[in-house]
């Protein structure tokens, strides 16, 4: 088994590729102003709540659009592509794959495509054609094809590994390019090709934060704190509520993450989550059409008097430490009350997150990024209310609008989970 340098012609067909490894993804405005914080600079609010609409529409479009895969990238970049024909159960193929992982990490310009001959008829036919033209018969696996030159077989890295590396280095015509990525400790390599997960995380977190279940208590608390006419105390109490809410939500999501890391995302679990997403999305859309009619994923009216009483008790507390303790307790209680209302996004997001093959630190870093998005809208409302010393309650119209947006995104996630699960990997 040695390098065969006989030239062969072959037309690449990107559809035949199976796996690619790369080292690097007017009037209405007036109404909305009245529904949120009525401020001297109220022009912010139409844009602020338009964010939720735009964010929801963007997520739906991104989830329903076929992803830009490695195969589509390869279709326009035929240079420096190593084609490897393999089959299941082949020990030499397993050794080759282990070596090629290291080889690819040392040569980021190299694209590696694995073509299983036992599952892909086109791959099997192409292997026979290449072997016949190269004078190697019968064909064997693994077979490596690079720049119309082939190598057959693999024993160990010190022999065939070196021959393969020499063949690639001598034949490649790659050009050095400017760095297009940034190395980070928590999120790994961030580049234009792998920014998909961070952006997706922030978008889902922001959209989850716009949930009316999570907003009405804060807006009510702000409307009560306005009477203090004390910006510092108002910011301290409301800020504590937001931070504690984020911490409780983080713990809730970490529990979901541990569940999926433990049991995995099997086909049955994926179908269960997809069905759950469709059910929650349907209920949220129903709430937009028929507000508070029938079953609803909202904080029950029976629980609201207790929340109101605790909020008023915070206002009546003159000392800062007891007030902070009371508002932290309120935040914990509210988050537990609204678990049913907000369980959909965390469960589905953490299930998607576990499919990304990350380190434990990276998993929790992404949960932290999600929480930053989740509390961003609350923090913005607190900041504006503190500066203006003005606030307003969440109205039915705004609550219904937010229900519609989250429902549509949840329905889209359900469809993708059920029909296009590979889009989420």
User: What Cα–Cα distance (Å) separates residue 417 from each residue in 71, 218, 275, 351?
Assistant: 21, 33, 9, 10
Specify whether 148 is located in the same domain as 257: no
| CA–CA dist 168, 165 (Å, integer) | 5
- The C-alpha angle 202, 210, 255, rounded to 5 degrees, equals 60
| CA–CA dist 376, 59 (Å, integer) | 18
Helix (H, G, I), strand (E, B) or coil at 390: coil
User: Sheet of 143-146: strands edge to edge?
Assistant: 19-21, 111-116, 81-86, 143-146, 149-152
Instruction: Give me the pLDDT at residue 85, please.
Output: 93
Specify whether 86 is located in the same domain as 133: yes
Specify whether 163 is located in the same domain as 197: no
Specify whether 167 is located in the same domain as 190: no
| CA–CA dist 211, 208 (Å, integer) | 6
Specify whether 340 is located in the same domain as 290: yes
Specify whether 160 is located in the same domain as 190: no
Residue 50 lies in a domain: no
Specify whether 266 is located in the same domain as 393: yes
Query: Which of 6, 414, 391, 367 shows the shortest CA–CA distance to 205?
Result: 367
Specify whether 309 is located in the same domain as 163: no
User: Could you tell me the residue range of the domain that residue 111 belongs to?
Assistant: 14-21+70-171
Last residue of a domain, which of 136, 171, 206?
171
Q: pLDDT tens, 126-142?
A: 888 888 887 777 788 89
**What CATH number is attached to the domain comprising 123?**
3.40.30.10
Residue 57 lies in a domain: no
Residue 330 lies in a domain: yes
Last residue of a domain, which of 171, 194, 226?
171
Q: Where are the alpha helices (DSSP H) in 110-156?
A: 121-134
Facing residues of 84 across strands? 114, 144
The distance from CA 289 to its chain's CA centroid, rounded to whole angstroms, is 29
Facing residues of 96 across strands? none
| CA–CA dist 56, 402 (Å, integer) | 10
Whether residue 135 is preceded by a cis peptide bond, meaning omega within 30 degrees of 0, is no
Residue 418 lies in a domain: yes
pTM, full prediction: 0.48
81-86 vs 143-146, strand pairing mode: antiparallel
Last residue of a domain, which of 140, 171, 202?
171
Please list the pLDDT of the chain residue by residue as tens digits (425 residues): 443 333 333 333 333 333 333 333 344 334 433 333 333 333 334 444 444 455 555 555 544 544 444 333 333 344 678 899 998 888 888 889 888 888 888 888 888 889 999 888 888 888 888 888 877 777 888 999 888 788 888 888 888 888 888 888 877 654 444 444 444 454 455 443 455 788 888 888 887 777 666 666 676 677 666 666 677 777 888 888 888 888 988 988 898 888 878 776 666 766 777 777 677 677 767 767 776 666 665 555 555 565 556 666 666 566 767 778 877 877 777 777 666 566 667 877 888 888 777 888 989 999 999 999 888 877 877 777 677 655 555 455 655 665 666 667 667 767 766 776 665 54
Q: Please, is 317 exposed, middle or buried when counting C-beta atoms within 10 Å of its C-beta (0-12, 13-18, 19+)?
A: middle
Query: Which of 403, 374, 394 shows the shortest CA–CA distance to 296?
Result: 403
What total number of domains does the chain contain? 2
Residue 1 lies in a domain: no
Q: pLDDT tens, 266-295?
A: 667 667 777 776 776 777 677 677 766 666
Instruction: Give me the pLDDT at residue 24, please.
Output: 39
């Amino acid at each position: 088994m040695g390098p065969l340098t006989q030239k062969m012609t072959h037309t690449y067909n990107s559809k035949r590729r199976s796996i690619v490894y790369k080292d690097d993804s007017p009037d209405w405005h007036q109404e909305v102003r009245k529904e949120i914080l009525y401020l001297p600079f109220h022009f912010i609010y139409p844009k602020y709540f338009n964010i939720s609409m735009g964010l929801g529409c963007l997520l739906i479009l991104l989830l329903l659009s076929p992803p830009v895969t490695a195969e589509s990238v390869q279709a326009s970049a035929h240079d420096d592509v190593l084609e490897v024909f393999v089959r299941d159960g082949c020990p030499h193929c397993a050794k080759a794959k282990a070596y090629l992982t290291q080889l690819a990490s040392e040569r980021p310009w190299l694209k590696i495509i694995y073509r299983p001959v036992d599952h892909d008829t086109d791959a099997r036919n192409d292997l026979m054609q290449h072997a016949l033209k190269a004078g190697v018969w019968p064909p064997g696996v693994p077979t490596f094809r690079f720049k119309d030159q082939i190598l057959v077989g693999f024993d160990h890295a010190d022999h065939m590994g070196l021959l393969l590396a020499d063949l690639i280095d001598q034949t490649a015509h790659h050009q050095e390019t400017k760095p297009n990525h940034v190395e980070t400790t928590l999120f790994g390599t961030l580049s234009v090709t792998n920014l998909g997960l961070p952006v997706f995380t922030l978008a889902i977190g922001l959209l989850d934060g716009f949930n009316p279940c999570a907003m009405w208590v804060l807006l009510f608390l702000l409307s009560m704190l306005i009477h203090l006419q004390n910006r510092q105390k108002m910011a301290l109490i409301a800020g504590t509520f937001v931070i504690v809410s984020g911490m409780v939500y983080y713990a809730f999501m970490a529990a979901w993450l541990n569940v999926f890391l433990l049991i995995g995302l099997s086909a049955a679990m994926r179908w269960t989550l997809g069905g759950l997403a469709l059910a929650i999305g349907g209920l949220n859309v129903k709430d937009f059409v028929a507000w508070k009619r029938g079953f609803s994923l909202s904080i029950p009216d029976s629980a609201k008097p207790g929340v109101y009483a605790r909020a008023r008790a915070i206002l009546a507390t003159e000392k800062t430490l007891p007030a902070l303790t009371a508002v932290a307790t309120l935040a914990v209680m509210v988050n537990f009350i609204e678990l049913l209302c907000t369980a959909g996004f965390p469960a589905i997001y953490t299930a998607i997150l576990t499919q990304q093959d990350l380190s434990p630190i990276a998993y929790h870093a992404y949960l932290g990024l999600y929480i930053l998005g989740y509390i961003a809208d609350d923090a913005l409302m607190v900041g504006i209310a503190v500066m203006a010393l003005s606030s307003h309650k969440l109205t039915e119209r705004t609550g219904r609008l937010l229900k519609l947006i989250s429902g549509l995104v949840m329905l889209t996630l359900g469809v993708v989970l059920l029909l296009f699960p590979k889009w989420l990997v």
